Amino acid sequence: MADFDRELDASGLNCPLPILRAKKTLADMESGQVLHIIATDPGSVKDFEAFAKQTGNELMSSGEEGGKFTFLMKKS
């Protein structure tokens, strides 16, 4: 069973697109649901932290795997 409800692949996209796509995807989700985000933009690591802090959505985890950055974000 996947530990997330939706997935967003923002690979190859640069600032600010990963954030904007995540925001759009979260808008279609229910409160408490979890979004799995994949990105290749190194700047997205700090940006998703800042996004979570300012929007109230919880950044549950942030990691790197084979040159890709992955995030789990729970909608507030």
Partner 1 sequence: MTEKKLAIIATKGTLDWAYPPFILASTAAALGYETEIFFTFYGLQLLKKDLTLQVSPLGNPGMPMPMPVPILLQALPGMQSMMTMMMKQKMKSKGVASVEELRELCVEAEVRLVACQMTVDLFEFDTKDFIDGIEFGGAATFFEFAGESDICMYI
Which residues belong to the active site? 15
In the complex, minimum distance from the CB of residue 2 to partner 1, in angstroms, rounded to a whole number = 25
Q: Does 29 bind partner 1 (CB under 8 A)?
A: no
Structure tokens at 6: 């939706």
Task: Report the greatest alpha carbon distance in the chain.
Answer: 31
Q: Does 17 bind partner 1 (CB under 8 A)?
A: yes
Residue closer to partner 1, measured from CB, 2 or 31: 31
Q: Does 62 bind partner 1 (CB under 8 A)?
A: no
Region binding partner 1 by CB under 8 A among candidate stretches 1-9, 28-36, 51-59, 66-74: 51-59
